[in-house]
């Protein structure tokens, strides 16, 4: 739904959150939506590829040099990720939220990424 006119109702909420220094996360087409509305113009970011960000962002997207080809990245309280990066997205958000120590967040990330059977073979 990020490409629908209804999604534009989120713009003032995102703008206010960013202005107040709140943590904002955008994954998959959410990152493209952020590009469309200029929210990625002053941060390092990722998404579903630079070309998609350019396509969605048009003239409002002025920071292609800030694009990082990575699963997920955070900068200035904005977390972006591509559509296949659910675990990396969660990890970046948990780190920003200081949900636990970085070591424990990394441990849980690895547990979920590698899986129980790989970590605890018979």
Is residue 117 part of the annotated active site? The answer reads: no
Q: Is 37 within 8 Å of 59 (Cβ atoms)?
A: no
Annotated catalytic residue: which of 14, 24, 27, 28?
Answer: 28
Element housing 25 (H / E): strand 24-27
Instruction: Please choose, from the candidates 62, 57, 29, the residue with its C-alpha nearest in 3D space to the C-alpha of residue 43.
Output: 62
Which residues are identified as catalytic? 28
């Amino acid at each position: 739904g990020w490409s629908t006119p209804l999604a534009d109702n989120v713009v003032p909420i995102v703008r206010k959150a960013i202005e107040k220094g709140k943590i904002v996360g955008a994954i998959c087409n959410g990152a493209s939506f952020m590009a469309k509305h200029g929210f990625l113009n002053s941060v390092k970011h990722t998404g579903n590829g630079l070309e998609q960000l350019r396509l969605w962002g048009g003239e409002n997207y002025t920071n292609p040099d800030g694009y990082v080809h990575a699963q997920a990245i955070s900068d200035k309280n904005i977390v972006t990720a591509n559509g296949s990066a659910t675990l990396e997205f969660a990890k970046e958000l948990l780190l920003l939220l200081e949900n636990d120590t970085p070591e424990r967040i990394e441990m849980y990330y690895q547990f979920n990424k590698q899986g129980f059977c790989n970590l605890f073979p018979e």
